[in-house]
Amino acid sequence: MDKIARIKELIDVLNDASRAYYAEDVEIMSNFEYDKLYDELMQLEEETGTVFANSPTQNVGYEVVSELPKEKHPSQMLSLNKTKDVDELVSWLGDKDGLLSWKMDGLTVVLTYEGGKLVKAVTRGNGEVGEVITPNAKTFVNLPKSISYNGKLTIRGEAIITYSDFEKINSEIEDVDAKYKNPRNLCSGSVRQLSSEITAKRHVRFYAFSMVDPEDTELVDSFENSFEKRFEYLKGLGFEVVQFERVTGVSLPDAVKSFSSRIPSNEFPTDGLVLSYDDIAYGRSLGTTAKFPRNAIAFKWKDEEAETVLRDIEWSPSRTGLINPVAIFDTVDLEGTDVSRASLHNITYVRDMKLGIGDRIKVYKANMIIPQISENLTKSGNITIPDACPACGGEVVIKNEKGTETLNCVNPKCPAKNIKLFTLFVSRNAMNIDGMSEATMETFIDHGLLRGLSDIYHLEEHKEKIVALEGFGEKSYNKLISAIEASRKADMAGFLYGLGIPGFGVANAKLVVKAYKSDINAIMNATEEELVEIDQVGNVLAGDFVSYFADESKRAEVEKLLKEIEFVIEENTAEQDLEGMTFVITGSLETYPNRDALKKEIEDRGGKVAGSVSAKTSCLINNDIDSNSSKNKKAKSLGIPIITEEMFKNKQFT
């Protein structure tokens, strides 16, 4: 390939990566790969003297795509030139004093204060046009709502989400595919929300890294032409600023080492350091290039590499059908932690790297965090792409989208695709298997331990394999098996609900169990005509129920499950005094431990519980009778009694 053709190819690849990163919050290549290709492009442009208008070396960021209002920045926000060489940093600083600070990895935001109040917040966007996110910025947890300076003050900084908040938010997302990949993506999406309420829940923080010259000349003079003085002033106003250290050419190397040592314990994501001249006037006198200012430079660490041996490639299926390759190699120490796995992204990546079992490879941590393979020294290329899905043994196909090949399972019944069914089956209102998280089940599916629901009750046959899994051990295994054993004594309604019959909730399951007097065989052979006779079971639900048990594979799986469990039939001795009544529960409870407890009592006494108020509602239970909630308003408009828990217990239904 000639140099001009390679330049065009690199431009397309890098622009696609930038578009994904800046406009769609998707990372399709590592920083290591991007920097390597970017440097190659710059070298080729210098060698040939040919620079295309759409080259990323000429553009700053990517076009904003959002429904948020757009606004042009008063002056273009340029990105920084970068180096990975400490000696080059020292040479750049020369005999001047500088400030070394973190280059935080979040979303750059420009704040404007007037009269001591925040009046505007705009994202960096593409450097020329940003998105107005003022209501969202007002929810940043560490941002002062008012400051003592009443003039106009414009501050640039980075919005970030800490690792602990990131982990907490991700832990609350049950859908593994919906979890956020990194704090930067989560922060970008959080800051650019159309609802500031969502932003507020994400605990976004703001760290100032510069101040635009204020119009107040006296204030400017008070900074004594010092970048550090500006930082100190902002701290005095209540802003948190990026951590910084004053340096000289002599102290700079040690300062870089000091910053490096803090990365493993940092609570915030970073992607390098920034070195700025403390002398503002000097830095400004240097001007800018078309893309970079000359008063500051970014430093990125030369990623610590380690040589190791590739022992295996694990193909991990996902709910989308995509089967992701993961490298398994001899454990190495990187940045103070043991590393033995790294994502290989897709088939194209595996083939381009010419990977083979037994190859000597070099691995590193992108931004000192994410394990990646940087180089294959052997290049045997002996990897065989699987011809069957590891989770179900079904057919796989290789898809090619824009030159990138991926492996995909085409079996619609693949357990990896149907992880939600497993999640539902083990949930509290179904079989209530504590400790059987979605992530755990995905791991079991990946290793071929779960293909059908009944396999849950045979996991003890794979003890040795489970105990050896990452994150597992003897204690975790024993706890899980105990929970599975406890679930063998099952509630029939919970069991039916856990099968995932379309539209079939717990309430309907209880009605069917009651109608068929807990006869599971009669339930499995129920007809549509019989089912529609049950109150609240309509034609569609009845049809879906019958179709489920008419499916031979599903019925066979249910038969397997019935051999593993025993139904506990509780005789209901409660007075049926709520027969024909429908209740809606809202607000906090005082005497019942939770809504499920109150709901159970109502159902045991022959009543029903609905989720919303309608003309069929007998009573709305709300301890705050006078509240202006939507349910209270609806009940009042329909003339439906609103009663407290105490009134319910005393049978005061009017």
Residues marked active site are found at 103
> What's the CA gap between 4 and 45, in Å, rounded?
9
378, 358 contact by CB (below 8 A): yes
> What's the CA gap between 103 and 82, in Å, rounded?
11
Residue where the block lists tokens 């209880």:
510
> What's the CA gap between 339 and 504, in Å, rounded?
45
Rg (CA), the chain: 31
Tokens of 453: 């629901």
- Classify the phi-psi angles of 358: left when phi > 0, otherwise alpha if psi is within -120 to 50, otherwise beta: left
Q: Is 624 helix (H, G, I), strand (E, B) or coil?
A: coil
| DSSP H stretches of helix in 196-288 | 196-201, 217-222, 227-237, 252-262, 280-285
Nearest in space to 31 (alpha carbons), one of 90, 82, 98: 82
Nearest in space to 188 (alpha carbons), one of 59, 66, 22: 22
- Classify the phi-psi angles of 527: left when phi > 0, otherwise alpha if psi is within -120 to 50, otherwise beta: beta
Nearest in space to 460 (alpha carbons), one of 480, 432, 486: 480
Phi, psi of 24 (to 5 degrees): -120, 0
Tokens of 368: 């000192």
Terminal C-alpha separation, the chain: 85
Helix H or strand E encompassing 528? helix 528-531
Do strands 642-643 and 619-621 pair parallel, antiparallel, or not at all (unpaired)? Answer: parallel
Tokens of 15: 């622009």
The 3 state secondary structure assigned to 588-608 is CCCCCCCHHHHHHHHHHCCCE
314, 343 contact by CB (below 8 A): no
Do strands 82-83 and 296-299 pair parallel, antiparallel, or not at all (unpaired)? Answer: parallel
Phi, psi of 147 (to 5 degrees): -130, 165
> What's the CA gap between 276 and 296, in Å, rounded?
4
Q: What are the DSSP calls for 155-215, one per residue?
A: EEEEEE--HHHHHHHHHT---GGGS-SSHHHHHHHHHT-S-HHHHHHTT-EEEEEEEPPPS
> What's the CA gap between 624 and 587, in Å, rounded?
7
Do strands 489-490 and 370-376 pair parallel, antiparallel, or not at all (unpaired)? Answer: unpaired
Q: Is 362 helix (H, G, I), strand (E, B) or coil?
A: strand
> What's the CA gap between 457 and 450, in Å, rounded?
10
> What's the CA gap between 187 and 624, in Å, rounded?
37
Per the document, the length of the chain is: 654
Phi, psi of 346 (to 5 degrees): -165, 180
